[in-house]
Every structure is written in C-alpha cells, then in structure tokens.
Amino acid sequence: MPKWLENAVFYEIYPQSYYDSNGDGIGDLQGIIEKLPYIKELGCNALWINPIYDSPFMDAGYDVRDHKKVAPRYGTLDDVKELLSTAHDMGIKVLFDLVPGHTSDQNEWFLQSKKAEKNDYTDTYIFTKSVWDAPPQYRLMCGICERDGNYLVNYFSSQPALNYGFYDITHPAWQMPSDCDAAKNTVELIKDIMRYWMDLGVDGFRVDMADSLVKNDDEKIATSKIWAGIREMMDKDYPECALVSEWCNPQRSINDGGFHMDFYLDHYGNGYSTLFRYLVDGENKSFFSDSAKGDLSTFLSEYNVNYPATKDNGYICFMTNNHDMPRATFYMSEEMIKLSHTFMMTMPGVPFVYYGDEIGMRYQTDLVSKEGGFSRTGSRTPMQWDSSKNLGFSTADESKLYLPVDKSDDAPTVENNIGRKGSIYENLKTLIALRHEYEDLRNGSDFELVHAEKGDNLFIYKRGEFTVYFNVSKEKKEVKLKNVGEIVFMLGDYEINGETLILDGRNAVIIKG
C-alpha cells in the first residue's frame, strides 16, 4: 500500500474545462501546470486528471484512439513530462484515467480486428459468429464491418468492448472463456499501457468502469482475478503507484480485485445517494438536505459492513462530485454543501474534490450535449477564476469556448471566494488543513458511531480523540458531553453550558479531547 495515500486529498480536473493557456477556448496541460500553485494552496496534494489521450471525442476522451499519444488540443508528451515534474516538485501526485473496457472505433486495434482476414487483433474485441447472429440481450453494432460478425459495445456505438472473455458462456459459437489466450492478451495490452505511463512518472490510475471487463460475470469473480493480477504487477514493479476504481463495491474491488481505493458512487437510493442526492418526487430527502427529512439508515447499513471488512486492505473514497453527475449545488444549499464537506473531510478514506466544487460552481441545466455529455454536460463547464473575460478561463471569443461559462451576475469564482469569511472555499481549505494536521482525521483511527437516530437530524461520530457533531435541522439541538475539549472547527454558533453542547441549526463542530 503506498504510504502517501494515508494523507492524500485529491483534486479532479476535467482538462478541457480547467484553464486555457493558449487562447483556443479549450483547457490544456499548460493550463493545469499554471494552476498547480492554486491547487497546492487549497491543500490538495494529489490530482486525478480525466483522459488526455488522442481521441475523436465522441465521449469526451473516454473513447481512446491511441493510448500512448496526447490529444493535440491538450498539448504534447513534453507537456505531460513537465506537468509530472512540476507537480512532483510541489509534493503533488498525479493519477491518469485508465479506460480498460473499450476503445474508440477508430483505434488501430479495432481497425485491424474488424478486417475479414485473421490477424493479431482479430480476437481483441468481441464479435458474434456472423452478421445474422445478434442476440438481443447484448449491445451490438450490426452489419457495418468487412468482417462477418457484429461487435459488442460497452455503451456508445463508437466504443467497441475489448475481449476479456465470458465467465458464463451462453453462446459458445462466439463467446470465449475468460482464461483463453485472447483474453489474456487483452490484459497484457492494458498492462503495457499502464507501464508506459508509470515509467514516465504517472503515480497510478483511476479506472473507468473497473467492473465491466469480463462479460456475464455477475459476481465479478473473473474480473476481480484480472485486477488482482494487475495489482501483483504493480506491487512488484511500481509499489508507490495507486489504483482507484469506479466500482462502488469495496469488498469486491479492494478485497478481491486488489484496488487501493474504491469510489462510493451516487447510485440512486444507496448510501451515497441518501446522504446527499436522494430526490423523491422532486424533493431532496437526503440527510444533508434543506428538507431535513432524510436519515442515515441506508448509509450506515452499507458503511458499517463495508468499512470494517476493507479498512485493512484499502480505502473507501468519498467525492464531492465528479464529471458524471450533477454538481452538488443542484441538490444542496451553500450551508448544506459546507456540512457535506465537513463530513467528507473527517471520514476515513481518501477524499476527492471535483474542480469548482470548492467555490460552489453551479450545474448548468440548459446546455446542448457536448462530446457525449448529455445530462452530464452541465457539470463540465469551464472553471470560474475571476471577473475578467470568460470568468478567467480563456481569452478566446465566447463562441470558441469548449462550453459556455456561467453568465449569472453572482457566478461564484475563485476571486470572490478566497478571503471571504464563511465561503465554501475557505471552509473547505480549513477542513483539508485539519485533515493534514491531525492523523486521527485522516486514516489514523477508526470510525466510531456515537449517535444516529431516525428523525432527529443529529449525527455524531468519533475519530480517535476527535468527536464530530452535525445538526442538519434548522432548530437548535442539545448534546450531552462526556468531556469538554478544544473546539478545532465550527461552521456556526454554539454554546457549551456545563456538560451540554448547544448547536445552532445547520451546524457542525469538531471537538478535540
């Protein structure tokens, strides 16, 4: 396990929307380099950068045309090397995105695979036996290849699925077992890509759709085995590099697959959803919501099983948001966002901050889909730096911007957040600093539930010598204290009367001792 993960706080960057250094309207690698001091000042000491590989951008770069080439709109390989060197000099680790389940249909591997004659890549993708063989339970592209067969796609039609075999074979005429030579060769292709970037200095990968490799693998037995083998390679040759999975099943991902980290994803009705994003008939009934109608039962029923089962092997990761879901501002007020950040930065695991969440950027609901974003497009708008042209993102004409900036008169920016007492930015910066300062608030102590009862909006837990108190209701709440210690953080007003802590509404307090 890489030691640096114990004190890591990640910052996710959507590169085309972060900072445009050359005025072409699209963010780039030099733009990220220029803003590294800002990221460092916030307190984040690790980055996850969404794909920067060569791509036709039918899915914003998650359709990779060449895994070892940088998309020209972002820069060059020399820019990658400069980014890695500069970040490392500042004590910042860098994860790239890995897309192992599929490629672009313009990838050279696929161009060879769809040819009629046999070649080294014939079985790198999944084709049915003939063009007339199209079982309806599979997502297939039919009748558009020279080869006599239809090919499986993972999601968009431009994303042919790589062949890792099938665990449960239902169509033996064309489905291969997961331990066949072709499937093993696909794994070696992915390992080769990983080695290429780690040899250049990349500190690991966030893995897209990590559980999607082997098909008909409901229990993810064969898929986990593949990742366990990759972890073995990393432990041997790249022991300081890390893997975080888009999986949301830590016992499979961490314990079986060997991932160092697993994201707690927003799946409707699960623990993450009912904490932050649980809309019922249009009303937010999550725990951290203005309605104060949520409860912690779903979250605790999941977390109290998964955390003790995986804590010795890896980390469950909370994220403020990511590029695939509406921003938190779509669901929560500024007060609730600050409460949610207090929770995420004081829980075990490795927290991830999505660019712009530190200033309360809004989810834009009226945008036309860009590069396969569809409903996700509104969370991928340009970073808002200051009050200058295009909110400081780019000097390009507005018509050339990757996506439009927030045109609201009160659009949040870095400029109007920094130094403003009580801003989302200043609150988050303080919390990250506390996490770095105190080991107990990182991964130095277990999560110990003190109080969570349905209907009372009070949540209390301990992390070593720290106790964290939340009151998400509008009304004051009283809590009996066993010890009156040092207040190291507070969101709002409080009062200590003897052995009673009186919390104002929408408040959080952290007490040491």
Tell me the pLDDT tens digit for each residue of 440-480.
999 989 999 999 999 899 999 999 999 999 999 999 999 99
In this predicted structure, the answer to whether residue 484 has a pLDDT above a threshold of 90 is no
Q: Which fold has domain 3-101+183-437?
A: TIM Barrel (3.20.20)
State pLDDT tens for residues 167-191: 999 999 999 999 999 999 999 999 9
Q: How many angstroms separate the Cα of 149 from the Cα of each of 111, 115, 168?
A: 14, 10, 21
State pLDDT tens for residues 196-238: 999 999 999 999 999 999 999 999 999 999 999 999 999 999 9
Q: How many angstroms separate the Cα of 287 from the Cα of each of 20, 67, 106, 134, 302?
A: 38, 41, 45, 45, 15
Neighbouring residues of 376: CB distance < 8 A, sequence distance ≥ 6: 323, 324, 325
Q: What is the per-residue pLDDT for 424?
A: 98
With contact defined as beta carbons under 8 Å apart, do 402 and 17 qualify? yes
Identity of the residue numbered 150: N
Q: What is the per-residue pLDDT for 23?
A: 98
Q: What is the per-residue pLDDT for 248?
A: 98
Please, what's the largest Cα pairwise distance for the chain? 83
CA pair distance 405, 413, nearest whole angstrom: 11
Pairing relation of β-strands 10-13 and 352-354? parallel
Q: What is the per-residue pLDDT for 483?
A: 81
Residue (of 155, 144, 152) closest to 123 by Cα position: 152
Q: What is the per-residue pLDDT for 122?
A: 98
State pLDDT tens for residues 53-96: 999 999 999 999 999 999 999 999 999 999 999 999 999 999 99
In this predicted structure, the answer to whether residue 482 has a pLDDT above a threshold of 90 is no
Residues of the chain with CATH 3.90.400.10: 102-161
Q: What residue ranges in 30-146 does DSSP mark as E strands?
A: 46-49, 53-54, 66-70, 93-98, 140-141
Q: What is the per-residue pLDDT for 105?
A: 98
Pairing relation of β-strands 458-463 and 447-452? antiparallel
Q: What is the per-residue pLDDT for 249?
A: 98
Q: What are phi and psi of 468, to 5 degrees?
A: -110, 125
Q: What are phi and psi of 133, to 5 degrees?
A: -100, 100
Residues of the chain with CATH 2.60.40.1180: 447-512
State pLDDT tens for residues 230-269: 999 999 999 999 999 999 999 999 999 999 999 999 999 9
Q: What is the per-residue pLDDT for 193?
A: 98
**Cα 53–chain centre separation:** 18
Share of the chain above pLDDT 90, in %: 98
Please state, rounded to an integer, the average pLDDT across all residues of the chain.
Answer: 97
Identity of the residue numbered 352: F
State pLDDT tens for residues 316-366: 999 999 999 999 999 999 999 999 999 999 999 999 999 999 999 999 999
Architecture of domain 447-512: Sandwich (2.60)
Residues of the chain with CATH 3.20.20.80: 3-101+183-437
State pLDDT tens for residues 382-415: 999 999 999 999 999 999 999 999 999 999 999 9
Q: What residue ranges in 52-148 does DSSP mark as E strands?
A: 53-54, 66-70, 93-98, 140-141
Q: Which CATH class is domain 102-161?
A: alpha beta
Radius of gyration, CA atoms only, the chain: 24
In this predicted structure, the answer to whether residue 128 has a pLDDT above a threshold of 90 is yes
